[in-house]
Amino acid sequence: MSLLRRRKVPEKETTTVPDPEEKKPETCKPVKQSKWSCVDNCCWLIGCICVVWWGLLFSYNMMPSSFPQYVTEAITGPMPDPPGVKLKKEGLQAKHPVVFVPGIVTGGLELWEGHNCADGLFRKRLWGGTFGEVYKRTKAINGMRSSRPLCWVEHMSLDNETGLDPPGVRVRPVTGLVAADYFAPGYFVWAVLIANLARIGYEEKNMYMAAYDWRLSFQNTEVRDQTLSRIKSNIELLVATNGGNKAVIIPHSMGVLYFLHFMKWVEAPAPMGGGGGPDWCAKHIKAVMNIGGPFLGVPKAVSGLFSAEAKDIAVARAMAPGVLDKDLFRIQTLQHIMKMTRTWDSTMSMIPKGGDTIWGDLDWAPEEGYVPSKRKKSNNTENSVHTEDGNVESEAKHVHYGRIISFGKDIAETDSSKIQRIDFRDAVKGNNVANNTCRDVWTEYHDMGISGITAVAEYKAYTAGDILDLLHYVAPKLMQRGSAHFSYGLADDLDDPKYAHYKYWSNPLETRLPNAPDMEIFSMYGIGIPTERAYVYKQIPAADCYIPFQIDTSAAAEGEDMCLKDGVFTVDGDETVPVLSAGFMSAKGWRGKTRFNPSGIKTYIRECDHAPPANLLEGCGTQSGAHVDIMGNFALIEDVMRVAAGATGEDLGGDRVYSDIFKWSEKIKLRL
Amino acid sequence: MSSVLRFRKLCFLEPTKYSSYDEKTKDQKNYENVNTVLLENNPKKKHQKKPPKEWRCIDSCCWMVGYLCTTWWLLLFLYHCLPANLPGLQVPEPPGARLSRQGLTALHPVVMVPGIVTGGLELWEGRACSEGLFRQRLWGGSFTEIFKRPMCWLEHLSLDNETGLDPPGIRVRAVPGLVAADYFAPGYFVWAILIENLARIGYEGKNMYMAAYDWRLSFQNTEVRDQALSRLKSKIELMYVTNGYTKVVVVPHSMGVIYFLHFMKWVEAPPPMGGGGGPGWCAKHIKSIMNIGPAFLGVPKAVGNVLSAECKDVAFIRLLNTSCVYLEHGTLSFPCYLKEETPFGVTWIGLEGDHVCDSAMKKYQQQFDMKGNNTDGRRGFQVQESTKYGRIVSFGKAASELHSSEISGLGSQVYLHNATSPQSLASCGKVWTEYDEVSPESIRRISEKKAYTANTLLELIRSIAPKMMRRAEAHFSHGIADNLDDPIYNHYKYWSNPLETKLPDAPDMEIYSLYGVGIPTERSYVYKVSSSFRCKNIPLQIDSSADGRNGCLKGGVYFVDGDESVREYKHKAPANLLEGRGLQSGAHVDIMGNIALIEDVLRVAAGASGVELGGDRIYSDIMKMSEKINVRL
Q: Where are the alpha helices (DSSP H) in B429-534?
A: 440-448, 454-464, 466-473
Between A52 and B37, name the one with better pLDDT. A52
Q: Is B429 exposed, middle or buried (0-12, 13-18, 19+ CB in 10 A)?
A: exposed
* φ and ψ of A607, to 5 deg: -95, 150
Rg (CA), chain B: 30
Q: CA–CA separation, B383 vs B389, rounded Å?
A: 12
Asked if residues A211 and A180 have their Cβ atoms less than 8 Å apart, the reply is yes
Predicted local distance difference test score (pLDDT) of residue B121: 87
CA dihedral A92, A96, A97, A100 (to 10 degrees): -80
pLDDT, averaged across chain B: 63
Model confidence pLDDT, tens digit, residues A236-245? 999 998 888 9
Residue A468 pLDDT exceeds 70? yes
Residue B509 pLDDT exceeds 90? no
- At residue A557 the predicted structure's pLDDT band, cuts being 50, 70 and 90, is low
Q: What is the largest CA-CA distance in chain A?
A: 105
Give A403's contacts (C-beta < 8 A, 6+ positions apart).
Answer: A362, A411, A412, A461, A462, A463, A534
Interface residue of B1, B33, B122 to substitute, partner A, most A CBs within 10 Å = B33
State what percent of residues in chain A have pLDDT above 90. 11
Predicted local distance difference test score (pLDDT) of residue B569: 60
Sequence-ordered strand ranges (E) for A41-162:
98-101, 109-113, 125-127
Are the beta carbons of A44 and B62 separated by less than 8 Å?
A: yes
Predicted local distance difference test score (pLDDT) of residue A522: 92
Predicted local distance difference test score (pLDDT) of residue A325: 41
Model confidence pLDDT, tens digit, residues B156-190? 888 887 777 888 888 888 888 888 888 877 777 88
Predicted local distance difference test score (pLDDT) of residue A403: 82
Model confidence pLDDT, tens digit, residues B290-310? 888 766 655 555 554 444 443
State what percent of residues in chain A have pLDDT above 70. 71
Q: How far is A102 from chain B (nearest CA, A)?
A: 18
Helix (H, G, I), strand (E, B) or coil at A475: coil
Work out the number of other CB atoms within 10 angstroms of the CB of residue A285: 25
B134 touches chain A (CB under 8 A): yes
pTM above 0.95, yes or no: no
Instruction: Report which DSSP code applies to B617.
Output: B
Residue B421 pLDDT exceeds 70? no
Residue A336 pLDDT exceeds 90? no
Model confidence pLDDT, tens digit, residues A111-132? 888 887 777 778 888 877 666 5
Q: Which residues of A touch B171 (CB under 8 A)?
A: 203
Predicted local distance difference test score (pLDDT) of residue B439: 55
Asked if residues B389 and B553 have their Cβ atoms less than 8 Å apart, the reply is no
Model confidence pLDDT, tens digit, residues A272-311? 888 888 889 999 999 999 998 889 888 888 877 777 665 4
Predicted local distance difference test score (pLDDT) of residue B574: 46
Query: Chain A residue with minimal CA distance to B70?
Result: A43
Predicted local distance difference test score (pLDDT) of residue B616: 72
Q: Is B544 exposed, middle or buried (0-12, 13-18, 19+ CB in 10 A)?
A: exposed
Instruction: Among A10-14, A406-410, A628-632, B263-267, name the most confident range.
Output: B263-267
* φ and ψ of A212, to 5 deg: -140, 165
Residue B216 Cα to chain centre, angstroms:
13
Helix (H, G, I), strand (E, B) or coil at B511: strand
Name the residue among B131, B113, B233 with its Cα closest to residue B174. B113
What is the crossing angle of helices A131-142 and A148-156, to 10°?
Answer: 120
From first CA to last CA, the distance across chain A in angstroms is 63
Interface residue of B26, B39, B56, B62 to substitute, partner A, most A CBs within 10 Å = B62
Is the reported ipTM for this assembly greater than 0.90?
no
List active site positions of A.
253, 574, 627
- At residue A28 the predicted structure's pLDDT band, cuts being 50, 70 and 90, is very low
Selecting from B66, B84, B134 the residue whose C-beta is nearest the C-beta of A47 gives B66
Q: How far is B223 from chain A (nearest CA, A)?
A: 10
**Alpha carbon of A424 to those of A428, A470, A551: distances in Å?**
9, 8, 20
Residue A663 Cα to chain centre, angstroms:
27
Between B622 and B251, name the one with better pLDDT. B251
Are the beta carbons of B84 and A120 separated by less than 8 Å?
A: yes
pLDDT, averaged across chain A: 75
Asked if residues A285 and A247 have their Cβ atoms less than 8 Å apart, the reply is yes
Q: Which residues of A touch B31 (CB under 8 A)?
A: 35
Q: CA–CA separation, A639 vs A248, rounded Å?
A: 12
Q: CA–CA separation, B458 vs B463, rounded Å?
A: 9
**Amino acid identity of A263?**
M
- At residue B512 the predicted structure's pLDDT band, cuts being 50, 70 and 90, is confident
Helix (H, G, I), strand (E, B) or coil at B122: strand
3-state secondary structure B320-373: HHHHHHHCCCCCCHHHHHHHHHCCHHHHHCCCCCHHHHHHHHHHHHHHHHHHHH
- Chains A, B: CB pairs < 8 Å: 160
